[in-house]
Structure 1
Amino acid sequence: MEFIVTAATFLLVIAACWQGGLWYMARQAALASAQEGLRAARAQHGSPGAGQSAAMSYATQVGGAHLNAPGAQVSEGADQTIVVRVTGRVPSFVPGLNINISREARGPKERWTTPGAAR
């Protein structure tokens, strides 16, 4: 009886560690996708649409095995700050466990300035 309890506990710990690894990989894939979208959107002639397209392309091609049902939103604030948010679901090793994640990257829009000009 002790062996059964010990073995079940050991398998539960292994499953929790495995699920934690899947969660970490999904977070990293979402963050990398958001950063890729930010690079495209904040370029001098970039647009929010280009950023969203780049984030989704990266999420499906590179993070495809680590991030389920990816989605990307790009917004540009009045202060020329670009925000790219990538959402998705963590692949589940534990049946019935649904974990949603969201990561974002933000940065200023690139623009030309003259030396000594007010920013």
Structure 2
Amino acid sequence: MALPPIPGTDAAAARRGRTVPGDRSGSDRGASPVELAIVAPLIILLLFLAIQISAVFLARSAALSAAQEAVSAQRAYQAQPGAGLAKGNEFLTHTSELLTDAEVVAAPAEPNEVAFTVTGQALSVIPGMDFEVSQTAYGEIERFTLDGNE
């Protein structure tokens, strides 16, 4: 048979719903919702920031790939003028969800080189913010030589 609790002890106080001086068991009531209300916006902001950074890097990758496709097409042996622009724009039509308002432009290059720059906007998950992306690729024009020195 169990003995009844002694008045003034923790067990007796717990039965009456009161706390004993120095007992912190009931002082944190309601702290979790308040902590969540403070921390949740920060977590959501960090999540959106991570998604935005990923979107910018994907857009940069798509722009660089389009520029490289354009250079590869234009630097080919006896390539037709405009072949690089056509190939770069064709690539961009397949990746239009990653890079919006994209444009392929021939960039200035050395006499025996071709260069293309692709610019556009990365998708934005943060309202009111635009992220411009620009990537350039260079390549040497393929040509036939007899001596192999050039």
Q: How does the TM-score come out when normalised to structure 1?
A: 0.90
Stretches of structure 1 that go unaligned for 5 or more consecutive residues are none
How far apart are residue 57 of structure 1 and its match? 1.0
- Within the alignment, does 1:26 sit opposite 2:59 as a pair? yes
Work out which of the residue numbers 108, 123, 130 in structure 2 matches 1:91: 123
Aligned to 1:55: 88
Report the CA distance between 1:115 and its aligned residue.
3.1
Identity of aligned residues (%): 29
Aligned ranges for residues 67-106 of structure 1 at < 5 Å? 67-75=99-107, 77-106=109-138
Structure 1 residues 33-86: Cα deviation after superposition (integer angstroms, max 9, x where no partner)? 01100111101122451111110110111x111000110111463421111100
Secondary structure in 2 matching 1:45: coil
Task: Give the structure 2 partner of residue 44 of structure 1.
Answer: 77
Gapped runs of 5+ residues in structure 2? 1-33
Q: 1:13 to 1:75 in 2, by over 3 A?
A: closer
Would you say the 8 A contact 1:71–1:88 is kept in 2? yes
The structure richer in strand per residue is: 1
2:143 paired with 1:108: no
- Kept in 2, the 8 Å contact 1:49–1:74? The answer is no
* Structure number with larger C-alpha Rg: 2
Corresponding letter in the other structure for 2:60? R
CA distance 1:34–1:92, shift in 2 (3 Å): same
Alpha-carbon distance in 2 for matches of 1:73, 1:2:
52
Letter in 1 for 2:58: M
Aligned length: 117
* RMSD (Å), alpha carbons: 1.5
Give yes or no for contact 1:48–1:74 (8 Å, CA) kept in 2.
Answer: no
Residues 31 and 86 in structure 1, CA contact (< 8 A), matched pair in contact too: yes
